[in-house]
Amino acid sequence: MGIMSFSSEIEDDNKTLEASFIGDSFHPYTSKFNRFYNDNVPVSAPSDYKMAYAPTMESQIRKLRLSMEEYRELILSANSVLLWEKQWYPTAILTACTVLFTLLWLSDPTVLTVFSTIGLLITIGDYILPTLIASLYKSDNWTADKQSEYEEICTNIVLYKTKFELLVTSYCRMRITNSKTYFGITIAGLFALAWLGNAVNNLLLSYLFVVMVLLLPGTIYNGFLQKGTEILSKIFSDLVENAKSKVGQKKLD
Protein backbone atom coordinates (compact mmCIF):
# COMPACT_ATOMS: atom_id res chain seq x y z
CA MET A 1 0.00 0.00 0.00
CA GLY A 2 2.86 2.38 0.88
CA ILE A 3 4.70 1.69 -2.37
CA MET A 4 1.51 2.35 -4.35
CA SER A 5 1.01 5.68 -2.58
CA PHE A 6 4.63 6.62 -3.28
CA SER A 7 4.16 5.71 -6.97
CA SER A 8 0.96 7.76 -7.16
CA GLU A 9 2.74 10.78 -5.65
CA ILE A 10 5.49 10.52 -8.27
CA GLU A 11 2.92 10.08 -11.05
CA ASP A 12 0.95 13.12 -9.89
CA ASP A 13 4.11 15.25 -9.80
CA ASN A 14 5.13 14.06 -13.27
CA LYS A 15 1.66 14.74 -14.67
CA THR A 16 1.78 18.28 -13.27
CA LEU A 17 5.20 18.78 -14.82
CA GLU A 18 4.37 17.24 -18.18
CA ALA A 19 1.13 19.21 -18.43
CA SER A 20 3.24 22.34 -18.66
CA PHE A 21 4.96 20.97 -21.76
CA ILE A 22 1.95 19.62 -23.70
CA GLY A 23 -0.10 21.32 -26.37
CA ASP A 24 -0.26 24.83 -27.68
CA SER A 25 -0.62 26.25 -24.19
CA PHE A 26 3.11 26.02 -23.56
CA HIS A 27 6.14 27.14 -25.46
CA PRO A 28 9.32 27.11 -23.35
CA TYR A 29 10.58 30.36 -24.80
CA THR A 30 7.49 32.58 -24.42
CA SER A 31 5.33 33.91 -21.65
CA LYS A 32 2.58 31.40 -22.55
CA PHE A 33 4.11 29.03 -20.04
CA ASN A 34 3.46 31.38 -17.13
CA ARG A 35 -0.12 32.01 -18.22
CA PHE A 36 -0.82 28.29 -18.59
CA TYR A 37 0.81 27.57 -15.24
CA ASN A 38 -1.12 30.24 -13.33
CA ASP A 39 -4.43 28.97 -14.76
CA ASN A 40 -3.83 25.23 -14.33
CA VAL A 41 -1.71 24.72 -11.22
CA PRO A 42 -3.60 22.49 -8.75
CA VAL A 43 -5.36 24.36 -5.96
CA SER A 44 -4.21 21.75 -3.45
CA ALA A 45 -0.51 22.30 -4.27
CA PRO A 46 1.57 23.90 -1.51
CA SER A 47 2.09 27.65 -1.80
CA ASP A 48 5.88 27.40 -2.23
CA TYR A 49 5.33 24.83 -5.02
CA LYS A 50 2.96 27.20 -6.85
CA MET A 51 5.14 30.26 -6.36
CA ALA A 52 8.46 28.87 -7.58
CA TYR A 53 7.61 26.19 -10.12
CA ALA A 54 6.98 28.02 -13.41
CA PRO A 55 9.40 30.96 -13.09
CA THR A 56 12.19 28.61 -11.98
CA MET A 57 11.66 26.31 -14.96
CA GLU A 58 11.72 29.10 -17.51
CA SER A 59 14.71 30.87 -15.96
CA GLN A 60 16.66 27.60 -15.72
CA ILE A 61 16.14 26.94 -19.43
CA ARG A 62 17.28 30.45 -20.35
CA LYS A 63 20.29 30.32 -18.03
CA LEU A 64 21.37 26.91 -19.32
CA ARG A 65 20.97 28.00 -22.93
CA LEU A 66 23.17 31.05 -22.42
CA SER A 67 25.81 29.24 -20.34
CA MET A 68 26.37 26.58 -23.03
CA GLU A 69 26.29 28.97 -25.98
CA GLU A 70 30.00 28.51 -26.75
CA TYR A 71 29.63 24.74 -26.93
CA ARG A 72 26.36 24.56 -28.88
CA GLU A 73 27.89 22.95 -32.01
CA LEU A 74 29.61 20.35 -29.86
CA ILE A 75 26.37 19.74 -27.95
CA LEU A 76 24.45 19.11 -31.17
CA SER A 77 27.08 16.59 -32.29
CA ALA A 78 27.02 14.85 -28.89
CA ASN A 79 23.22 14.77 -28.96
CA SER A 80 23.33 13.13 -32.40
CA VAL A 81 25.63 10.41 -31.05
CA LEU A 82 23.64 9.81 -27.87
CA LEU A 83 20.36 9.49 -29.81
CA TRP A 84 21.90 7.03 -32.31
CA GLU A 85 21.10 9.06 -35.40
CA LYS A 86 23.50 6.76 -37.27
CA GLN A 87 23.48 3.00 -36.87
CA TRP A 88 27.14 2.72 -35.87
CA TYR A 89 26.89 5.22 -32.98
CA PRO A 90 25.96 2.62 -30.30
CA THR A 91 28.93 0.50 -31.32
CA ALA A 92 31.19 3.56 -31.17
CA ILE A 93 29.96 4.42 -27.66
CA LEU A 94 30.48 0.88 -26.42
CA THR A 95 33.92 0.63 -28.03
CA ALA A 96 35.09 3.97 -26.61
CA CYS A 97 33.95 3.02 -23.08
CA THR A 98 35.58 -0.40 -23.35
CA VAL A 99 38.92 1.06 -24.50
CA LEU A 100 38.87 3.72 -21.78
CA PHE A 101 38.13 1.30 -18.94
CA THR A 102 40.63 -1.22 -20.31
CA LEU A 103 43.33 1.46 -20.08
CA LEU A 104 42.21 2.23 -16.53
CA TRP A 105 42.36 -1.46 -15.65
CA LEU A 106 45.85 -1.84 -17.12
CA SER A 107 47.26 1.31 -15.51
CA ASP A 108 45.47 0.72 -12.18
CA PRO A 109 45.55 4.38 -11.03
CA THR A 110 44.45 5.52 -7.60
CA VAL A 111 41.08 7.20 -7.10
CA LEU A 112 42.80 10.54 -6.47
CA THR A 113 44.72 10.23 -9.74
CA VAL A 114 41.55 9.43 -11.69
CA PHE A 115 39.64 12.42 -10.34
CA SER A 116 42.66 14.71 -10.78
CA THR A 117 43.03 13.59 -14.40
CA ILE A 118 39.32 14.12 -15.08
CA GLY A 119 39.52 17.60 -13.55
CA LEU A 120 42.63 18.38 -15.58
CA LEU A 121 40.98 17.31 -18.85
CA ILE A 122 37.85 19.35 -18.06
CA THR A 123 39.93 22.44 -17.25
CA ILE A 124 42.06 22.17 -20.39
CA GLY A 125 38.97 21.50 -22.50
CA ASP A 126 37.19 24.51 -21.03
CA TYR A 127 40.17 26.66 -22.02
CA ILE A 128 40.80 25.26 -25.52
CA LEU A 129 37.42 24.12 -26.82
CA PRO A 130 35.69 27.53 -27.23
CA THR A 131 38.52 28.79 -29.45
CA LEU A 132 38.72 25.51 -31.33
CA ILE A 133 34.97 25.35 -31.91
CA ALA A 134 34.89 28.98 -33.08
CA SER A 135 37.59 28.24 -35.65
CA LEU A 136 35.98 25.01 -36.91
CA TYR A 137 32.36 26.16 -36.94
CA LYS A 138 31.57 29.58 -38.38
CA SER A 139 28.66 31.49 -36.90
CA ASP A 140 27.23 31.94 -40.41
CA ASN A 141 26.56 28.20 -40.55
CA TRP A 142 24.28 28.36 -37.51
CA THR A 143 20.74 27.94 -38.83
CA ALA A 144 17.26 28.27 -37.37
CA ASP A 145 16.89 24.48 -37.33
CA LYS A 146 20.09 24.13 -35.30
CA GLN A 147 18.88 26.82 -32.89
CA SER A 148 15.55 25.03 -32.47
CA GLU A 149 17.32 21.72 -31.80
CA TYR A 150 19.67 23.40 -29.33
CA GLU A 151 16.76 24.97 -27.44
CA GLU A 152 14.98 21.61 -27.35
CA ILE A 153 18.07 19.98 -25.83
CA CYS A 154 18.26 22.64 -23.12
CA THR A 155 14.55 22.23 -22.39
CA ASN A 156 14.86 18.46 -22.11
CA ILE A 157 17.83 18.76 -19.75
CA VAL A 158 15.88 21.04 -17.42
CA LEU A 159 12.77 18.86 -17.78
CA TYR A 160 14.53 15.67 -16.69
CA LYS A 161 16.40 17.52 -13.96
CA THR A 162 13.08 18.79 -12.59
CA LYS A 163 11.54 15.32 -12.83
CA PHE A 164 14.43 13.94 -10.84
CA GLU A 165 14.01 16.66 -8.21
CA LEU A 166 10.30 15.86 -7.95
CA LEU A 167 11.13 12.17 -7.56
CA VAL A 168 13.56 12.94 -4.72
CA THR A 169 11.02 15.29 -3.11
CA SER A 170 8.29 12.63 -3.27
CA TYR A 171 10.65 10.07 -1.77
CA CYS A 172 11.67 12.38 1.08
CA ARG A 173 8.03 13.31 1.70
CA MET A 174 7.26 9.63 2.14
CA ARG A 175 9.41 9.68 5.31
CA ILE A 176 6.59 11.66 6.91
CA THR A 177 3.55 10.29 5.08
CA ASN A 178 4.57 6.60 5.16
CA SER A 179 7.62 6.09 7.33
CA LYS A 180 7.50 2.26 7.35
CA THR A 181 7.66 2.04 3.56
CA TYR A 182 10.33 4.75 3.43
CA PHE A 183 12.66 3.03 5.90
CA GLY A 184 11.94 -0.40 4.39
CA ILE A 185 12.88 0.74 0.86
CA THR A 186 15.92 2.68 2.10
CA ILE A 187 17.33 -0.12 4.24
CA ALA A 188 16.71 -2.78 1.58
CA GLY A 189 18.27 -0.59 -1.12
CA LEU A 190 21.37 0.16 0.95
CA PHE A 191 21.81 -3.51 1.85
CA ALA A 192 21.54 -4.43 -1.85
CA LEU A 193 24.11 -1.78 -2.84
CA ALA A 194 26.48 -2.89 -0.08
CA TRP A 195 26.24 -6.51 -1.21
CA LEU A 196 26.67 -5.54 -4.88
CA GLY A 197 29.72 -3.39 -4.13
CA ASN A 198 31.32 -6.24 -2.19
CA ALA A 199 30.48 -8.95 -4.76
CA VAL A 200 31.37 -7.14 -8.01
CA ASN A 201 34.60 -5.37 -8.93
CA ASN A 202 34.34 -1.59 -8.55
CA LEU A 203 35.85 -0.88 -11.97
CA LEU A 204 33.39 -3.28 -13.61
CA LEU A 205 30.50 -1.58 -11.81
CA SER A 206 31.73 1.81 -12.99
CA TYR A 207 32.03 0.50 -16.55
CA LEU A 208 28.50 -0.91 -16.54
CA PHE A 209 27.11 2.29 -15.03
CA VAL A 210 28.81 4.56 -17.59
CA VAL A 211 27.75 2.35 -20.51
CA MET A 212 24.16 2.25 -19.22
CA VAL A 213 24.01 6.05 -18.82
CA LEU A 214 25.46 6.71 -22.29
CA LEU A 215 23.21 4.19 -24.04
CA LEU A 216 20.03 5.14 -22.16
CA PRO A 217 19.11 8.27 -24.24
CA GLY A 218 19.31 6.33 -27.51
CA THR A 219 17.41 3.41 -26.00
CA ILE A 220 14.57 5.71 -24.95
CA TYR A 221 14.61 7.78 -28.17
CA ASN A 222 14.42 4.75 -30.45
CA GLY A 223 11.70 3.05 -28.40
CA PHE A 224 13.76 0.06 -27.29
CA LEU A 225 13.21 0.78 -23.61
CA GLN A 226 9.44 0.96 -24.04
CA LYS A 227 9.41 -2.28 -26.02
CA GLY A 228 11.52 -4.01 -23.39
CA THR A 229 9.27 -2.72 -20.62
CA GLU A 230 6.17 -3.99 -22.45
CA ILE A 231 7.74 -7.44 -22.93
CA LEU A 232 8.75 -7.68 -19.27
CA SER A 233 5.31 -6.48 -18.18
CA LYS A 234 3.65 -9.12 -20.35
CA ILE A 235 5.92 -11.86 -18.97
CA PHE A 236 5.19 -10.74 -15.40
CA SER A 237 1.44 -10.68 -16.07
CA ASP A 238 1.58 -14.19 -17.55
CA LEU A 239 3.48 -15.47 -14.51
CA VAL A 240 0.92 -13.93 -12.17
CA GLU A 241 -1.97 -15.43 -14.14
CA ASN A 242 -0.31 -18.86 -14.13
CA ALA A 243 0.29 -18.63 -10.39
CA LYS A 244 -3.36 -17.68 -9.80
CA SER A 245 -4.62 -20.53 -11.96
CA LYS A 246 -2.41 -23.06 -10.13
CA VAL A 247 -3.64 -21.79 -6.76
CA GLY A 248 -7.25 -22.05 -7.99
CA GLN A 249 -6.71 -25.63 -9.16
CA LYS A 250 -5.20 -26.64 -5.82
CA LYS A 251 -8.21 -25.19 -3.99
CA LEU A 252 -10.57 -27.15 -6.22
CA ASP A 253 -8.60 -30.36 -5.66
Q: What is the average pLDDT across 43-60?
A: 54
Q: What is the average pLDDT across 222-233?
A: 86
| Residue 60 CB contacts under 8 Å (≥ 6 apart), including other chains | 158, 161, 162
pTM of structure: 0.67
In this predicted structure, what is the pLDDT of residue 21?
Answer: 44
**pLDDT per residue as tens digits for the range 229-250:** 888 888 888 787 877 777 667 6
In this predicted structure, what is the pLDDT of residue 49?
Answer: 41
Q: What is the average pLDDT across 62-89?
A: 90
| 191 vs 165: CA distance, rounded Å | 24
Where is mean pLDDT largest: 16-20, 199-203, 209-213?
209-213
pLDDT-above-90 percentage for the chain: 28
**pLDDT per residue as tens digits for the range 1-46:** 444 455 555 555 555 544 444 433 344 444 444 444 444 444 444 4
| Residue 97 CB contacts under 8 Å (≥ 6 apart), including other chains | 207, 210, 211, 214
H helices of the chain, in order, are: 2-19, 32-40, 47-67, 72-82, 89-107, 111-136, 144-177, 179-199, 202-221, 224-252
102 pLDDT tier (thresholds 50, 70, 90): very high
